[in-house]
Each structure stands twice: as structure tokens, then as C-alpha cells.
Amino acid sequence: MRNMHILKRAASWNLFCRKDMDFKCNLTRSLSISSQAVADLASKDAQLRVFIVAGEVSGDIIGSRFMDSLKKLAPFPVRFAGVGGCMMSKQGLNSLFPMEDISVMGIWELLPHLNNFRVKLKQTVHAAVSFQPHVVLTVDSKGFSFRFLKYLRGMW
């Protein structure tokens, strides 16, 4: 799993994936995985593991739609783990903690919760490493997401 890299940053989407997967990005800012790469990966592991992080309500909605679409399109089981809200939990995500814990904006709102923010960041990174995802997707909450990806990259 040390051969991971950041592939695409489009709008507020950040996709972190294995180098052996063939991804294509179309003009509508959505990301699609070539069916052959997914089939190869699924045949090796018998499932696709996706770690997804959303820290805002809009990210929860986008993440739940992504999860629903992926479950419908994938010809094999998809497992989700990460951080999300009620919409994503309806799609099968068991969130590590309530996404409201990382939904802080601005320095003045962050300062009182800085220690909790760091604890949640470390907890999320360790959960992602232990889950061994094929794909890591972050939606919105770029303050948390960029730090999460930076620490995650450092772990590999």
C-alpha cells in the first residue's frame, strides 16, 4: 500500500488512490474508474474498500450520492468506512464520529476545539490505515481533508 498518491483535485473532491488503478476524469468534474481496473481489483480482494470523509452537510449529500451510485454500478461488494453524516449513514457508512466534530470554520471557531480537532484527525488517519482502502475520497471540509491526506500520505 506504499504506492499511493493523490490523483485528482476537482472542485472540492480529492481522490487518493492506488497507482495500479486506471482512473479517468470527465469534463463534468465527476470521477469514474475504468471497469477493467475495478474488476481486476475486485477479483483480487473480492470487494472494493472506500474510505470517505465528509465534514459538512453538502459533503454528506455528495458523499451519499457517490456511495449510492457506486453500490449500484459496482458488480462486486463495496465496503465503506470513514466520517460522514446521516445521509451517508443511510447508505451504509458507520461514521467514526459525528461529522459536526470537524465542521469548524475560521480561526476563532477552531481555537477552542483545536485539541479535539487534532484527536479526531489522528483517529481518522489511523482508521484509514487499518481499513487499508483501495480509494480514499474527501469531500468538502478542506481544512480537515487536506491535513488528513497529508498525514495519511506520511503514513505510507
d(C-alpha 5, C-alpha 115), whole Å: 28
Mean pLDDT, the chain, rounded, equals: 76
Phi and psi, residue 28, nearest 5°: -90, 15
Lookup: cell for 141: 471540509
Domain coordinates in residue numbering, the chain: 4-155
Confidence at 41, pLDDT banded by 50, 70, 90: low
Reported as a single tens digit per residue, the pLDDT across 101-145 is 777 766 776 677 788 889 999 999 999 999 988 888 999 888 889
pTM given for the model: 0.72
Q: How many CB atoms lie within 10 A of CB 148?
A: 27
Give the H or E element holding residue 17: strand 13-18
